[in-house]
Amino acid sequence: MLAEERQERILSELRRRGAVRVADLTDLLDVSDMTIRRDLEQLARDGLARKVHGGAVLARRVAFEPGFAAKSQLAQPAKHAIAQWAGGMIQPGAAIGVTGGTTTWALAPYLAAVPGLTVVTNSTTVADVVAGADSATSDHARVTVVLTGGVRTPSAALVGPVAERTVAGMHFDQLFLGVHGMDARAGYTTPNLAEASTNRVFVDSAREIVVLADSSKWGVVGLADIGPLSIADTLVTDDGLPAEARGAFEDAGADVVTVAVPR
């Protein structure tokens, strides 16, 4: 098992239980305690866990924003399965919005395959992937990419007044929205105040809202609200979503699509 896979398993246990012991993790993952301690040190450096005597606890700082590189290593199979399914929702000739995030970044390679698509995004990483994948297509089928401008966040999103003025003057058939957390009471959230404001403008500009979020985001609450669960027309997530969470989304009026993740 690769280090990234172990750390993802450890983080899953942390989110499920709130705390883990080194001894329990060595049994669960069948590795040495030294290996587990190194994994916990990495999760602590990424701001995802806090080491304590004999183990670690989940970092629950609502204002903490992990960097893009750290987040991109988490739940990769789920994110790619979600992105592949979401790519099939997009119609040729559509105009779509794509916000920042590592799951929306996973969607980016599928966008260049949609003829005549216009993509408005505040994600520098999404724009780079779409532009690179699109370079090999014929001129009549090429994707138009509009990058909003703005101030860059640690998660590679451009936010603030410049981004908001750009987005506010546009209208999207669909918005593919990435989120930091989702919770029955708090709704969809992010640690970044400016990103929350920019994402709300994206939401207001779209006819259909599709949230892309793996099941580990359930129960996570960031500092700033993007909106209640009811803003989403569709949630695309993985099959690890708890039954009570699915019920909360359905009560809020969202269609819930759970995709199978290769184990």
In order of their start, the domains of the chain are 3-60 (1.10.10.10), 69-259 (3.40.50.1360)
DSSP H or E run through 18:
none
Which has the closest alpha carbon to 231: 197, 206, 214, 213? Answer: 206
Rounded-to-integer distance, Cα 133 and Cα 121, Å? 16
Find the DSSP H helices in 169-240.
193-204
Rounded to an integer, the average pLDDT of 112-126 is: 94
- pLDDT the model gives residue 255: 96
Helix axes 124-134 and 102-111, enclosed angle (nearest 10): 20
Q: What tokens were used for 220? A: 């996570």
What b/e readout covers 200-237, taking b as 16+ CB neighbours within 10 angstroms?
A: bbbbebbeebbbbbbbbbbebbbbbbbbebebbbbbbb
Q: Would you say 59 and 222 are in contact if contact means Cβ atoms under 8 Å apart?
A: no
In angstroms, how far is the first alpha carbon of the chain from the final one? 12
- pLDDT the model gives residue 194: 95
- pLDDT the model gives residue 43: 87
Rounded-to-integer distance, Cα 249 and Cα 246, Å? 5
- pLDDT the model gives residue 112: 87
Q: What tokens were used for 50? A: 């806090």
Rounded to an integer, the average pLDDT of 49-69 is: 71
- pLDDT the model gives residue 68: 63
Label residue 213 left, alpha or beta by phi (over 0 means left) and psi (-120 to 50 means alpha): beta
Report whether pLDDT(70) > 80. no
Q: Would you say 169 and 203 are in contact if contact means Cβ atoms under 8 Å apart?
A: no
Rounded-to-integer distance, Cα 85 and Cα 259, Å? 7
Report whether pLDDT(52) > 90. no
Residue-averaged pLDDT of the chain:
89
What b/e readout covers 13-33, taking b as 16+ CB neighbours within 10 angstroms?
A: bbbeeeebbbeebbeebeeee
* Phi, psi of 81, rounded to the nearest 5 degrees: -65, -40
Quickly state the pLDDT bin for 252 (edges 50, 70, 90): very high
- pLDDT the model gives residue 15: 74
Quickly state the pLDDT bin for 44 (edges 50, 70, 90): confident
Higher pLDDT, 99 or 20: 99
Quickly state the pLDDT bin for 18 (edges 50, 70, 90): confident
- pLDDT the model gives residue 12: 80
Q: Would you say 235 and 257 are in contact if contact means Cβ atoms under 8 Å apart?
A: yes
- pLDDT the model gives residue 58: 74
- pLDDT the model gives residue 263: 66
Q: What tokens were used for 78? A: 């789920």
pLDDT digits (tens, 9 = 90+) for 124-148: 999 999 988 755 555 556 889 999 9
